[in-house]
Amino acid sequence: MTKVIKNGTIVTADRQWKADVLIEGEKIAQIGENLSGDEVIDASDAYVIPGGIDPHTHLEMPFMGTTAAETFESGTFAAAAGGTTMLVDFCLPGEDGSLLNAIDEWDRKSRDQICTDISYHMAITGWNEKIWGEMEAVVKDRGINTFKHFMAYKGALMVEDDEMFASFRRCAELGALPLVHAENGDIVAAKQEQLLADGITGPEGHAYSRPPEVEGEAANRAIMIADAAGTPLYIVHVSCEQAHEAIRRARQKGMRVYGEPLIQHLTLDESEYFNKDWQYAARRVMSPPFRNKMHQDSLWAGLASGSLQVVATDHAAFSDEQKRMGVGDFTRIPNGTGGLEERMAMLWTKGVDTGRLTPEEFVAATSTNIAKILNIYPMKGGLTVGGDADVVVWDPSIKRTVSVATQKSIIDYNVFEGMELSAAPRYTLSRGEVIWAHGQNSQPQPGRGKFVRRNPFASASKALSKWKALNTPRKIERDPMNIPAGV
């Protein structure tokens, strides 16, 4: 049984051209003109793009005394409705601290629910010999090549610099990539305490407690620690010029540092926290907080110029009731917002439609770049013969207004409510199967998604190790006769 996507304009990270895409089973079999297949998928007047990859989600995550309400089923179905065919969720160790048990737990939660393919990043939330040992099995046996470090959430997920350095070194040995949430957790905690003491207890306190400098300092620190450990680094949810500047500077020096802005930071600003409606403002509490236009312009420029590579969502969706845990104390509002379903359409509307991004840059930022960074390209993230047929027929004639009434996410609000989106998937295909068809009452297909294994990064680690070995401190051999006698 073959399928052919006909009459569309293909857009990849490099170029656009008119061609058909032939799919055999789960794979792309041919790309060319006048192809035929058993089933025809019409892409007239539309673009044909690689399925989106969202590398930053927290589905059903236990966090801040509750559990994120978006499930693996609703989250992956919402993703498919928005053109995303793979997401990478953060796996957090439980009370026993075991990484391997945490993966088993994430498998148990996700296996029968996922409608799209998924993978995990493993979080390092402490440091000891058991974790050091288990990291090898995480990479080699479980197919996870990324480890996340929280520099914030003091007293909970936060790790200290020496722990991060040790973990980064272990990543370098294993050919894994460390990720960081860059915010100085000590300063945030001190500011929170002061703000509460000053009587600022509402969601605006969240924004005041996490200024851009706090993020910039942590981004710089993580970059220096990664360089000392001899590893590339990926910085999640880059929200401000200070962190972006640190990344730009590092890249200019030849360091392999990657930056991931979120669609929320690109399109929503800090004024949201000053809304008189407590619930409205609390819905938008996430870390780092939304910033102002200057920071947004910096992020957009980074995506266009290549100093920032990936647009994600950090989808961590808590219900209104869960957000109310923080009435009277903003530090107890569960941190996180949604965006899985809107990421691609928002980026198209605010990026491509305004001329800030080309369609090719859009594909790079939503799919191809992260597939390369995660070492799954060209199986994912491109339109290549032999690659997975994760394909979206992207239709710029489908307009819609974001509304909680029509969204697939099960959360009782949407932070993009009322925004006009100028494009949407006509069809979303995951490994050759149509999992979303616009206007055709598509339903979730829980359990059809697969876990995607990711191999260690042979090439970047090898190159960096070679360079570090060449530049390692060396003893200078001297003729003892020419060394003056000491005193």
Nearer to ligand URP, 146 or 428 (CB): 146
Under the rule (CB under 6 A), what is the footprint of ligand URP?
Answer: 58, 181, 286-287, 314, 316, 335-336
Min dist. Cβ of residue 334 to Zn ion (A)? 12
- Nearer Cβ to ligand URP, position 181 or 431? 181
Least distance CB 88 / Zn ion (angstroms): 11
Q: How far is the CB of 99 from ligand URP (least distance, A)?
A: 18
- Output the smallest distance, CB 90 to Zn ion, in A: 6
Residues in contact with Zn ion, shown as a per-residue x/- string from 293 to 322 under the rule CB under 5 A: ---------------------x--------
Q: Which is nearer to Zn ion, 175 or 259 (CB)?
A: 259
Q: Smaller CB distance to ligand URP: residue 4 or 415?
A: 415
Asked whether position 181 contacts Zn ion by CB under 5 A, the answer is: yes
Structure token digits, residue 158: 């936060």
Q: Which residue is nearest to Zn ion (CB)?
A: 181
Minimum CB distance to ligand URP smaller for 238 or for 286:
286
Give the CB-side neighbour count of residue 6, counting CA atoms within 13 A: 12
Q: Does 142 bind Zn ion (CB under 5 A)?
A: no
Asked if residues 75 and 87 have their Cβ atoms less than 8 Å apart, the reply is yes
For residues 383 and 415, which CB has a smaller minimum distance to ligand URP in the complex? 415
Which of ligand URP, Zn ion, none lies near 430, with the C-beta cut-off 5 to 8 A by kind?
A: none
Closest chain position to ligand URP (CB)? 335
Shortest CB 179 distance to ligand URP, Å: 10
Q: Which residues bind Zn ion (CB under 5 A)?
A: 181, 314
